Amino acid sequence: MKDLGAEYLAGREGVQLFGLLNLYLEQEQRFQPREKGLSLIEATPETDNTLCPRLRNAKVEDLRSLTNFFGSCTETFVLAVNILDRFLALMKVKPKHLSCIGVCCFLLAARIVEEECNIPSTHDVIRISQCKCTASDIKRMEKIISEKLHYEFEATTALNFLHLYHTIVLCHTSERKEILSLDKLEAQLKACCCRLTFSKAKPSILALCLLNLEVETLKSIELLEILLLVKKHSKVNDSEFVYWRELVSKCLAEYSSPECCKPDLKKLVWIVSRRTAQNLHNSYYSVPELPTIPEGGCFDESERACNWKHVPFGHRHHPLPSPLATTHLFSAS
């Protein structure tokens, strides 16, 4: 195993990776939801006019469904959850406003993470999410969220740490690169995001717990030693690490069970009126049959002459080359 000591860190790659890790460690507290606000939500009973953990978790699962539907990346989902939790921990939100807030968080995250061509329109997100609010409602709520969070949306999340830890481990191991699946780790992180309690964990510790549990599953001593060195560099408290590791382990065990409704498999539920359903049912039987297109058929000369009359005038000056001319062009080389 390569050494993670000062001599190796003097290399360009080591300096960049651990420099980025130090930057993430400095920023994580700044973008973490207020623990006091999250604790208040956790302690809230399920009533008609209060925001409880179940409603928050259900909204995060809706965010995951939107992410899947629009083909957004994991970073968009994790950032949307971060924006949502930071706002909920700061403001007293009524359940009736949660749908609008969720859509706003998804749109804000998508605009930061996704390429411009992949950012869904506000109208499409409203229609697919069925949030029962207008584009004006979304605009007003986005302004409120932006002001309360001081327009600080590019947060350092557990996904940032997970990717960085994964890169550091692969750079220092002699084992096969494919044994540590980043896709699997991301799926496990999504499962944790769907539970309010993990928003109280430091992103660095949550990511380290996920990686540690996966390495233990692989039974790789080399990878485990590398993680211990990363943990030491990050100055992670042992008792805090053990506490969150147990919670993550329990969450993943439940996530792996057949009874669990996994966020990756959650489907959007379409709710339509009886009239719309009847129209859809009738339209299924009213689709006109199209004539069969013959296979391998060719035009005769009369059809060619007839079709040529319908070609726009500007295109008649450049007819396609004849087969003989084409053969000559290729044989000339």
What would the pLDDT profile of 102-130 be if each residue is shown by its tens digit?
Answer: 999 999 999 999 999 999 999 999 999 99
**Domain span including residue 187:** 8-27+156-174+181-265
Q: Assess if residue 121 is contained within a domain.
A: yes
Question: What residue ranges of the chain have pLDDT lower than 70?
Answer: 1-12, 14, 48, 175-178, 257-333
Q: Assess if residue 169 is contained within a domain.
A: yes
Q: 21 and 89, same structural domain?
A: no
User: Would you state the pLDDT for residue 49?
Assistant: 83
Question: Which of 148, 164, 189 corresponds to the end of one domain?
Answer: 148
Name, in order, each residue with C-beta under 8 angstroms of 90's C-beta and a sequence gap of 6 or more: 33, 34, 37, 148, 149
Q: 168 and 237, same structural domain?
A: yes
Q: Assess if residue 302 is contained within a domain.
A: no
| Integer angstrom CA distances of residue 193 from 74, 98, 100, 157, 239 | 11, 17, 19, 11, 22
Q: 219 and 112, same structural domain?
A: no
Q: 138 and 42, same structural domain?
A: yes
Q: How many domains does the chain have?
A: 2
User: Would you state the pLDDT for residue 46?
Assistant: 86
User: Would you state the pLDDT for residue 172?
Assistant: 79
Q: 65 and 107, same structural domain?
A: yes
Q: 228 and 142, same structural domain?
A: no
Question: Which of 216, 236, 265 corresponds to the end of one domain?
Answer: 265
Question: Which of 237, 265, 293 corresponds to the end of one domain?
Answer: 265
Name, in order, each residue with C-beta under 8 angstroms of 274's C-beta and a sequence gap of 6 or more: none
User: Would you state the pLDDT for residue 333?
Assistant: 40
Q: Assess if residue 289 is contained within a domain.
A: no
